[in-house]
Amino acid sequence: MTAHPGPGRWPAVPPLAGVPAARRRSADPAATTAPAAPPVADLSRRAWLAAAMLPIAAAAEGSPPAPAEVVAALPGARAIGHGTLRLFGLRIYDAWLWSPGRPTATDWARTPLALELRYARTLRGPLIAERSVGEMRRQRELSADEARRWRAALEAVLVDVHNGDRCTGVHAPGQGASFFLNSRSLGGIADGEFATLFFGIWLAPQTSEPGLRQALLSGSSG
């Protein structure tokens, strides 16, 4: 991972053409070893019951420490909100929204932030990329060229994930997005419009999971 350039400066986002083809984990154990993910904050009895009963549950008071990649990219970031995605009663991932600012339902796209997904299931990288482009289409119509380029770029940076993996996306407004797996850099996509639509999968009004959106933005003002 590139050394942090210091507070107030964004780490360079690699250009689209330079996205590494990280389609699978390295065979070198040293390259894939990463610090263990911090435990999810303990839930109160009432919150635990709510999480067990509802498809989407907000976090209880307290939050885990920010991941290393979030600390490096967003000095001063704090947990804004937390939610859990369940499909047919099965937990797919826990999501945390981090930011040094105060993202709201109307200005999140202009706010530096990071979205961390803690997976509870195995999902294939190409399928994640395909689903992501489909969810981006909910926000506006994509041209054939946009859909092709962005799907190829996502397939290059989104690897297979397994139970216990953490995948983090860092949003640099107007610049692009950087991606990490268990704090290991996967590369980035230098396209501000792409980044807005990608993070809009969770944060835009057109999201397919409005309950999760509300939970993630629940700590924002307004």
pLDDT number for residue 48: 29
- Summarize pLDDT for 125-174 with one digit per residue, the tens: 999 999 999 999 999 999 999 999 999 999 999 999 999 999 999 999 99
Tokens of 13: 């986002």
The answer as to whether 22 is a domain residue is no
> Is residue 60 pLDDT above 60, yes or no?
no
Tokens of 78: 């704090």
The answer as to whether 184 is a domain residue is yes
- Summarize pLDDT for 91-109 with one digit per residue, the tens: 999 999 999 999 999 999 9
> Is residue 87 pLDDT above 50, yes or no?
yes
Q: Looking at the 3D structure of the chain, how many domains does it have?
A: 1
CATH code of the domain covering residue 133 = 3.50.70.10
- Summarize pLDDT for 167-190 with one digit per residue, the tens: 999 999 999 999 999 999 999 999
pTM: 0.72
pLDDT number for residue 13: 46
CA–CA separation, 219 and 102 (whole Å) = 8
Q: Decide if 113 contacts 99 (C-beta within 8 A).
A: yes
The answer as to whether 89 is a domain residue is yes
Q: Decide if 111 contacts 102 (C-beta within 8 A).
A: yes
CA–CA separation, 191 and 221 (whole Å) = 28
The answer as to whether 142 is a domain residue is yes
Kind plus residue range of the DSSP H or E element containing 134 = helix 125-136
Tokens of 98: 């981090």
- Summarize pLDDT for 35-53 with one digit per residue, the tens: 333 333 333 333 322 333 3
pLDDT number for residue 55: 32
Tokens of 157: 């940076």
CA distances from 197 to 1, 64, 169, 181 (A): 25, 27, 13, 21
pLDDT number for residue 64: 82
Q: Decide if 74 contacts 112 (C-beta within 8 A).
A: yes
- Find all residues with CB under 8 Å of 157, minimum gap 6, and list them: 19, 20, 22, 179, 186, 187, 188, 189
pLDDT number for residue 150: 98
The answer as to whether 91 is a domain residue is yes
The answer as to whether 204 is a domain residue is yes
pLDDT band at 219 (very low <50, low <70, confident <90, very high): low
For 202, half-sphere exposure in the C-beta direction (CA atoms, 13 angstrom radius) is 26
Q: What are the strands, taking DSSP E only, across the chain?
A: 78-87, 90-99, 113-119, 166-172, 176-181, 184-189
The answer as to whether 151 is a domain residue is yes
Which domain range does residue 116 map to? 65-216
Average pLDDT, the chain: 79
